[in-house]
A and B are shown apart, each in its own frame.
Chain A
Amino acid sequence: MAILKMKHLRLMLMKDQKDELLRKLIRLGCVQFNEIKDSEEDPEYAGLLSGLTTSLSSCRNRQATLNSAIAVIDRYVPEKSPLLAAKIEVSADILLDDSGIESALNRAEQVIAADDRAKRISSEESRQRNLIEALTPWLPLDLRLEKPWTERAQWILGTIQGKAGIDSLNDALLEYTDEAEAFEINADKSRRYVAVVFSKDQLAAVQECLRATGFNTVSFSELKGTPKDCINLAKAELNSLDKEKEECFDVIEQNAEFRKEFKLASDKMDARATIAEAEEKLLSTENVLIMEGWVPEESEKKLDAVLSGFDCAWETEAPEKAEYPDVPVKLKNNFLTNGLNMVTNMYSLPQYGTVDPNPLMAPFFILFYGLMMADMGYGIIMILAAIVAKAKMKPRDNALSFTQLLFWGGIATFAMGALTGAFFSDIPYQIVHLLNPESTWKGLPYLFSPISNSETVLYGSLVLGLLHLNAGMIVSFVMKKRAGNLADAIWEEGSLWVLLVGGVLAVLKIGNVAGIPVVLIIGVIMLLFGAGRHAKGFGKVTAAFGCIYNTATGWFGDVLSYSRIMALMLAGGVVGQVFNNVALMPAKNSGINVLTVIAFILIFVLGHLMNFGLNLLGCYVHDLRLQCLEFFGKFYQDGGKPFTPLKFGGKFVRAKEN
């Protein structure tokens, strides 16, 4: 329920125990390593120390090799995985065990090599196919391609446009020389394939003529034999390439059964790379290592138990105020508020030494979400989805936050749905009236409904907004008071409260003295004085005007922004209602029979699925906005750095929790 207290850790250790210690710490998963800065300040100290050479890049390279082998196998032999499956859990011992890595790497390299070869073969294949395609029109030509001449004669191959006849080409040739003739070899819709045969000494004249007639010369000088020979050769080549490709596929397929081993080895390499990353931050003399980092106060005992087995000296101390911006932040929350980690992580963590917004935000976030969705049917779906996901995927970290948020959001959605009488919008009402048109039933009972009491709901949303904003201001007030800035708190939050109370009293016409709303005016004066109290001279005037403008527009804007609660509540209901109407229309028009029931189910399911999906996301985004913009704006100090301890973080399997 709070930001975990962190302690600054310094440790000195015999160098030969380094590997064992790091392996113990990665299991513990609660120590973050830092770059050591002190050495920069103290040259004498720095002279003794040097960084370590680590295997980081080789570990990452090997991991990348394994991952690309897995990708290749997944591409050729897709794995059918169940929709919601938890990652396989393995013990830390297995993850830190080196066995199996080398053989997996060898196999991975084979797979990648086979894939590369298959790719090269594919490109060669398409080259051969293109060749066959280009040669096919020339099949009737019974001349060798590599030597387009005899002792006296020579020929040029090429194409002319289909519209131009072979005769017109011959006529054109006659104008240049009478020792040349064009023969049509083949023709298709757009082109004629032509061989022009001529006496060798007429080459220049023929070329000139061909240029003038738009003749496209085709050259196959790199080929040997007649077109038929060449095509046969290319076909034979294609056959052998195909066989070779099959061999490559076989290699990949044979290795597909090792997919699990590859995945495990990849995560083993990830653990080694993570350890190497930590090593990069260490400094050492010949025999001694120095490390610095952070450890949560609550994990100190566990760390003590581990370190007692080593020859080391270590100390922890609470960070000083000046250090706060550098202290990593970890939030600890319970079942109810942990879901909001998703929101906080996405926005920005709070600074160390400030407040954890999750417990403050949780009741509002969940309530607003429920109000926006407000449908018993959708609520049930959300609760079920959360329970199933929790059971099947055994989520951790962010995924866990998500399922928890889904669960609480579902409960709120169901509760608000019960208050507004919505179950898949108004389907009970519609079905009852379809079955019995004379029924006088008015639908599920409701306390308030966005459709019949939209104004009430709108004002209710704005009042909730006021409460929400004031909760934020109370937090800000307390934080300022704790930091010893009571004066700031009174002049800023305090004067706004007086102003707000004054505004309410003025509207209700209570407490007016001689028609003047005294409290309101006191509030305005306090606000103006507060704004100008640090400014000097003319600055006081501009500060005051700026303050009035900001307060008026800012507060109006903030409060009106909460009207989106009503807007989303109403929109979801209306769209759902129309789908219900459309779904029941066939039954209304042509009676209840198999077809109309099928049509109803289809339209109902698809329509509500879409409305549900859209609202699930839409309500989240708008709730997020209300929290991050309106609520956080009142007090939140963001910019905390996340706590990133040395721990297992593989992609495919996960370490069992100790």
Chain B
Amino acid sequence: MEFLNTIGGGALALLGAALAAALACVGSAKGTGIAGEAGAGLVAEDPSKSGKVLILQVIPGTQGLYGFVIFFLAYSKVSNLITSINVAQGLQIVSACLPIAIGGLLSAIAQGKVAAASINILAKKPDDWSKGMIMCIIVEFYAILCLLASFLMLNSIVL
């Protein structure tokens, strides 16, 4: 405890906000990267599909956005109080940020893989590509739940 006190609650709170943005964005970067690699292959064969490939590629990008949303809420909550937050409050903020940090990271990668596989659908059965999109959105739901868990926790923290 003594050790944590020397660090201070403000630093912990910022750590939470940083994790929410950073991990979720890393996940989205990986997810969109996986989908992008698959998409580039298809676009090389058939450039006219680039619009649809782009749509599939950006789907795993939303986790980064959710991470940023939580970062923003957490940061605006603590930005004026960094020096006065105690360790307990700081840890509360870290806990609240964890769902979207971890969930965003992993769900974006999983979604990126589904998006890459859906690009396969787009290549082989272009008329059915929207079904692939729907499969991607199913993964999205868990990122939304993480966003909500983080949001509800953040909302209940009183500083």
Contacts A568-B144, A621-B137; is A574 near B151 (CB within 8 Å)? yes
By a CB distance below 8 angstroms, the chain A residues around B43 are: none
Question: A618 at the A/B interface (Cβ < 8 Å)?
Answer: yes
Which of the listed residues A451, A578, A624 has the most CB atoms from chain B within 10 Å of its own CB? Answer: A578
Interface 0/1 of B139-158, CB less than 8 Å to A? 01100110110011001000
Contacts A567-B148, A568-B144; is A581 near B72 (CB within 8 Å)? yes
Minimum distance in angstroms from B155 CB to a CB of chain A: 8
Please tell me if the beta carbons of B145 and A567 are within 8 angstroms of each other in the complex: yes
Question: B69 at the A/B interface (Cβ < 8 Å)?
Answer: yes
Minimum distance in angstroms from A354 CB to a CB of chain B: 25
Give the interface SS of chain A, mostly helix, strand, loop or mixed: helix
Question: B76 at the A/B interface (Cβ < 8 Å)?
Answer: yes
Question: B73 at the A/B interface (Cβ < 8 Å)?
Answer: yes
Please tell me if the beta carbons of A571 and B148 are within 8 angstroms of each other in the complex: yes
Provide the bound-state CA to CA distance between A59 and B151, in Å.
Answer: 61
Within 8 A of A (CB), among B108-159: 133-134, 137-138, 140-141, 144-145, 147-148, 151-152, 155
By a CB distance below 8 angstroms, the chain B residues around A571 are: 144, 147-148
Within 8 A of B (CB), among A417-456: 451, 454
By a CB distance below 8 angstroms, the chain B residues around A451 are: 155
Provide the bound-state CA to CA distance between A575 and B143, in Å.
Answer: 13
Question: B40 at the A/B interface (Cβ < 8 Å)?
Answer: no
Question: A582 at the A/B interface (Cβ < 8 Å)?
Answer: yes
Please tell me if the beta carbons of A618 and B69 are within 8 angstroms of each other in the complex: no
Minimum distance in angstroms from A628 CB to a CB of chain B: 11
Minimum distance in angstroms from B133 CB to a CB of chain A: 7
Question: A83 at the A/B interface (Cβ < 8 Å)?
Answer: no
CB contact between B69 and one of A454, A568, A578, A617 (< 8 Å): that residue: A578
Please tell me if the beta carbons of B147 and A621 are within 8 angstroms of each other in the complex: no
Minimum distance in angstroms from A153 CB to a CB of chain B: 50
By a CB distance below 8 angstroms, the chain B residues around A618 are: 137, 140-141, 144
CB contact between A582 and one of B72, B145, B147, B148 (< 8 Å): that residue: B72
Residue of A at shortest CB range from B55? A613
Interface 0/1 of B90-115, CB less than 8 Å to A? 00000000000000000000000000
Within 8 A of A (CB), among B50-107: 62, 65-66, 68-69, 72-73, 76
Please tell me if the beta carbons of A575 and B69 are within 8 angstroms of each other in the complex: yes
By a CB distance below 8 angstroms, the chain B residues around A575 are: 65-66, 69, 147
Question: A64 at the A/B interface (Cβ < 8 Å)?
Answer: no
Provide the bound-state CA to CA distance between A624 and B65, in Å.
Answer: 25
CB contact between A578 and one of B72, B134, B137, B141 (< 8 Å): that residue: B72
Please tell me if the beta carbons of B137 and A617 are within 8 angstroms of each other in the complex: yes
Question: A614 at the A/B interface (Cβ < 8 Å)?
Answer: yes
Number of interface residues of A (CB under 8 A): 19
Please tell me if the beta carbons of B140 and A578 are within 8 angstroms of each other in the complex: no
Please tell me if the beta carbons of A581 and B76 are within 8 angstroms of each other in the complex: yes
By a CB distance below 8 angstroms, the chain A residues around B151 are: 570, 574
Please tell me if the beta carbons of A574 and B137 are within 8 angstroms of each other in the complex: no
Question: A641 at the A/B interface (Cβ < 8 Å)?
Answer: no
Provide the bound-state CA to CA distance between A47 and B62, in Å.
Answer: 66
By a CB distance below 8 angstroms, the chain A residues around B66 are: 575
CB contact between A621 and one of B68, B73, B134 (< 8 Å): that residue: B134
Within 8 A of B (CB), among A608-658: 610, 614, 617-618, 621-622, 624
Question: A564 at the A/B interface (Cβ < 8 Å)?
Answer: yes
Residue of B at shortest CB range from A564? B141
Residue of A at shortest CB range from B144? A571
Please tell me if the beta carbons of A574 and B141 are within 8 angstroms of each other in the complex: no
Residue of B at shortest CB range from A610? B65
Minimum distance in angstroms from A452 CB to a CB of chain B: 10
By a CB distance below 8 angstroms, the chain B residues around A622 are: 137, 141
Please tell me if the beta carbons of B152 and A454 are within 8 angstroms of each other in the complex: yes
Residue of B at shortest CB range from A582? B72
Contacts A578-B73, A582-B72; is A617 near B133 (CB within 8 Å)? yes
Residue of B at shortest CB range from A611? B65
By a CB distance below 8 angstroms, the chain B residues around A621 are: 134, 137-138
Provide the bound-state CA to CA distance between A610 and B68, in Å.
Answer: 14
By a CB distance below 8 angstroms, the chain A residues around B62 are: 614
Residue of B at shortest CB range from A607? B65
By a CB distance below 8 angstroms, the chain A residues around B137 are: 617-618, 621-622
Please tell me if the beta carbons of B148 and A570 are within 8 angstroms of each other in the complex: yes
Minimum distance in angstroms from A606 CB to a CB of chain B: 12
By a CB distance below 8 angstroms, the chain B residues around A564 are: 141
Provide the bound-state CA to CA distance between A622 and B142, in Å.
Answer: 12
Minimum distance in angstroms from B117 CB to a CB of chain A: 17
Within 8 A of B (CB), among A89-116: none
Interface 0/1 of A559-588, CB less than 8 Å to B? 000001001101100110010011000000
Provide the bound-state CA to CA distance between A507 and B146, in Å.
Answer: 31
Residue of A at shortest CB range from B71? A578
By a CB distance below 8 angstroms, the chain A residues around B148 are: 567, 570-571, 574
Q: Which 3 A-B pairs have the closest CB atoms?
A: A621-B137, A578-B69, A571-B144
Q: Residues of B with Cβ closer than 8 Å to A?
A: 62, 65-66, 68-69, 72-73, 76, 133-134, 137-138, 140-141, 144-145, 147-148, 151-152, 155
Add 15 more A-B contacts to A568-B144, A571-B148 (CB < 8 A).
A454-B152, A564-B141, A567-B141, A567-B148, A574-B69, A574-B147, A574-B148, A574-B151, A575-B69, A614-B62, A618-B137, A618-B140, A618-B141, A621-B138, A624-B134
Q: Can you give 18 A-B contacts (C-beta < 8 A)?
A: A451-B155, A454-B152, A568-B144, A570-B151, A571-B147, A574-B69, A574-B147, A575-B65, A575-B66, A581-B72, A582-B72, A614-B62, A614-B140, A617-B133, A618-B140, A618-B144, A621-B137, A624-B134
